[in-house]
Structure 1
Amino acid sequence: MINLKIDPEFQNQIPPLTDDEYKQLEENILKEGKLLSPLIVWGNTLVDGHNRYAILQKHPEIYFSTMPLPFESREEVLAWICKNQLGRRNLTPEQKYYLMGKQYEVEKAAHGGDRKSTDAKSSSLKANLIDSTKTCDRIAEENGVSKDTVIRASRYMKGVEIAEELIPGLKQSILSGQTKVSKADMHRLAKVACYDRAQTLQDILHPELKVEPTPDADDVIRVPGKAPVMPFRKFESVYDSDAYPEDVRYEYVALEELTTRFRISFNYQLEQMPDNAQRDVILEIIHKHKDYLTSLEAALADVKDQTA
C-alpha cells in the first residue's frame, strides 16, 4: 500500500465528516471493494480524500488509485482545496464563509515576489492590487456573492484562525455552528494587536465577564501599559447615504472614519507631547505614512487605468 504524506494545513481546510457520515462512507467503500474516485495528490502529499485514506488504513485490501495534479506551490494547493470544498452541498454557512475567505487570501499570497527594493515594492503593490481585484471578482462570481462579501469573508477567516491558535479546537466548534460567534466578532479579533487577542477572544466568548474601563475626569480612558484612548467623538459620513451603492457604502464609511480618526488621534497625541519632544522624530513618523499614502494613491490610479 502506498504511504501518503498528510499535511496538517491541507487537512485542516477540509470540514470533517460527522460520525454518521464517516460510517456511511466506510460502508460504501467496503461494499464497492475499491475506491471509485482516485485520491488527489501533490507529489507524495495527499490533497483530497483524507477520510477515504483513513478508511484505507483500516482496510489495506481495498484497491485505490491516485491522481497527481501539477501544483506549483502550497498556495495553489490550498486554493484548490478551498474551491473544491466550496462545491459541497452540506457545508454550514460558517464553513462556506471561511473557505471563501481562505481561498481569496491564499490566491493573493500566490502573487508574491521581490519586495526588497523600492521599485520592486512599488511594482509589487500595483500588481497585487490588480491581481487581488481580479481574484476577488472571480471568487465572488463563482460563489454568487458580492466582492465585499469575499473581502469580509477573508477577515472572518483570519479571526477564526486566530481563535484556533489561542484555543485549539475552537475553529471546528465555530465552523460547525456549535460555538456561536458573529462575523463582526471575528472581524474584530482579526484586527486587534497580537497582545490584545487573548483578551478580545475572552470578551467575545464570555461577554458577561467583560469589565469596561472607566474614563478619567478629563474623559480619557487610561490603561496601564497602553496609549490613552481619546474621548469618543460622534462620526457622521457623507458616504452613508443612498447616493452610494449599499454593498460598498459600509466600506466607504469605514475608510473615511479611519482617516478622520487618524487625524483626530494624531492631533490628540501631539497635544500630549512634552515640550522637549524631538521634531525630527515626529517628522520621521509622519513621512513614513506620507510615503505610504503616496505609493498607495499611485497604485490605485494605475489599477483604475488598467481595469477601465
Structure 2
Amino acid sequence: MSQLLAIDPEFEARCPPLTDEEYQQLEENILEEGLVLMPIIIWNNTIVDGHNRYKIAMGNPGVEFRTHEKFFDSRYQALSWICKNQLGRRNLTPQQKKYLIGQRYKAEKEMHGGDRKSENVKSTDQNDPLISTSHATRARIAEETHTSEGYVQRAEYYADGVDAAEEVLPGIRDDLLVGKYKPKETEVAAIARASPIDRKELAEQLRLTKDDKDKASATQSSGKHRRQDYQEIETAYEELKKQDKKVSEDDALDSLRAAVRTMIRVCNNFIENFPRLVTEQAYKHKLVEIMQEAKSYIKELEGDAK
C-alpha cells in the first residue's frame, strides 16, 4: 500500500511545473515500469520533491513509490533546500531561475531572523549583525548561483511581485515563469509595492503584449507611471512630515527604504528604455559618473557612523 503524504501549497509552488508533454512522458515512464523509480523526498511526511510522481502514483492504483526522509531545522530551511534543488534542473527558464533565487534568498534571510521590519531595533549601522548576515547571505547565494549581489536582490523583488500577482490572478505565476508573458522585471516587481486595490489591474497588464501596450497606452500610461515613479520619492518624505509627532526613526527608515527602491526602479526604467546608456561606452561612463554621487553619499554616511 502506498503511503499517504501531505502536499504543502507553498512547497509545491517552489517547484516549476512540468509542461503537458513532460507530465505525459513522466506518466508513461512510470506506468511502463509499474513503479516510481526515484524516491519521493519528504520532511515530516510532507513532500519537498516529487509532487508530480506522487500524483501519478496516487492516480494509478498499484503503482508503488518509495520515500526518502530529509531533516530540516525549520520550514525556511526546507524552502531553501527546495529552491536549491530546483535550481539544479537544466531546463529552467530565466524567469524560473530568478524566481527560485529570490525565494531562496528570502527563505535564508528568515533562517537568520528575517529583516525585523516590525521590531524597533532597525539600524543603518554596518556592524548590525542582521545587516551583516543579510549581506553575507546575498553574497554567498550570488557566488553559488554565478550571478551578482544585485541580481539576487532584484530576484527577491521579482519573486515578491510574482507572488503578489498570483494572489489576485491565480494561475498567472506559472504563465509568467514559463515565459508565456514577458513583461519587464520592474513591472512585475511593482505589483508587490502597489496598494491592494491596484494590484489586480497591474497584474492584468502583465498579460499585455508590447503591441497591446503601444496601442493602449503609449502616450498616456507609460508617461503617467513614469511620473509616479518620480513622485513616489518626493511623496515618501512628504507623507512622513504630515504625520503626527509619534513618527519614529524606524518609520523614517521605512520611508527611506521605499524611496531607494523607487530610485532603483526609475534607473532601471531609463536603462530599459534607453539601452545605449549601458551598451555604448561614452554613455555608460557618464551614467557611472552620475551614480558616483550616491556612492559618495554612502561613503560619507559610513564615515559618520564610525
Q: TM-score, normalised by structure 1?
A: 0.68
Correspondent of 1:157 among 159, 174, 180: 159
Compare 27-36 and 283-292 and name the one that shifted more.
283-292
Q: Find the counterpart in structure 2 of residue 4 from structure 1.
A: 5
Contact 2:36 2:57 (C-alpha < 8 Å) held by counterparts = no
Q: Find the counterpart in structure 2 of residue 126 from structure 1.
A: 128
- Equivalent residue letter for 2:84: K
SS where residue 285 of structure 1 aligns? Answer: coil
Distance 2:59 2:158 in 1: 37
The Cα shift of 1:28 comes to: 2.0
Q: Find the counterpart in structure 2 of residue 237 from structure 1.
A: none
Contact 2:105 2:138 (C-alpha < 8 Å) held by counterparts = yes
Compare 62-71 and 100-109 and name the one that shifted more.
62-71
Contact 2:43 2:72 (C-alpha < 8 Å) held by counterparts = yes
- Equivalent residue letter for 1:184: T
- Equivalent residue letter for 2:69: P
Correspondent of 2:182 among 177, 180, 187: 180
Correspondent of 2:150 among 136, 145, 148: 148
The Cα shift of 1:286 comes to: 6.5
Q: Percent identity?
A: 40
SS where residue 247 of structure 2 aligns? Answer: helix
Cα 1:269/1:138, change in 2 over 3 Å:
closer
Q: Find the counterpart in structure 2 of residue 65 from structure 1.
A: 66
Contact 2:109 2:115 (C-alpha < 8 Å) held by counterparts = no
- How do 1:166-205 residues align onto structure 2 when only pairs under 5 Å count? 166-205=168-207
What count of residue pairs does the alignment treat as equivalent? 249
SS where residue 91 of structure 1 aligns? Answer: coil
SS where residue 83 of structure 1 aligns? Answer: helix
Q: Find the counterpart in structure 1 of residue 264 from structure 2.
A: none
Contact 1:158 1:190 (C-alpha < 8 Å) held by counterparts = yes
Distance 1:89 1:9 in 2: 22
Contact 2:240 2:255 (C-alpha < 8 Å) held by counterparts = no
Q: Find the counterpart in structure 2 of residue 285 from structure 1.
A: 247
SS where residue 40 of structure 1 aligns? Answer: strand
Of the two, which has the highest radius of gyration? 1
Contact 1:203 1:209 (C-alpha < 8 Å) held by counterparts = no
The answer to whether 1:54 aligns with 2:55 is yes
Q: Find the counterpart in structure 2 of residue 95 from structure 1.
A: 96
Give 1 or 2: higher helix fraction.
Answer: 2
Deviations 1:238-297 (A, max 9, x none): xxxxxxxxxxxxxxxxxxx95xx469x53x997xx8xxxxxxx65443755468799xx9
Distance 1:164 1:107 in 2: 22
Contact 1:41 1:68 (C-alpha < 8 Å) held by counterparts = yes
- How do 1:100-119 residues align onto structure 2 when only pairs under 5 Å count? 100-112=101-113, 118=120
Distance 2:115 2:85 in 1: 30
The Cα shift of 1:173 comes to: 0.8
Distance 1:230 1:179 in 2: 24
- How do 1:225-240 residues align onto structure 2 when only pairs under 5 Å count? none
Q: TM-score, normalised by structure 2?
A: 0.68
The Cα shift of 1:35 comes to: 2.6
- Equivalent residue letter for 1:107: E
Q: Find the counterpart in structure 2 of residue 43 from structure 1.
A: 44
The Cα shift of 1:159 comes to: 0.7
Distance 2:98 2:115 in 1: 31
Cα 1:144/1:6, change in 2 over 3 Å:
same
The Cα shift of 1:150 comes to: 0.7
Cα 1:209/1:70, change in 2 over 3 Å:
same
Cα 1:176/1:262, change in 2 over 3 Å:
same
Distance 2:249 2:59 in 1: 63
Q: Find the counterpart in structure 1 of residue 14 from structure 2.
A: 13
Deviations 1:204-237 (A, max 9, x none): 4454555949xxxxxxx9xxxxxxx89969xxxx
Distance 1:188 1:180 in 2: 15
Distance 1:27 1:230 in 2: 52
Alignment RMSD, CA only?
Answer: 3.9
- Equivalent residue letter for 1:74: R
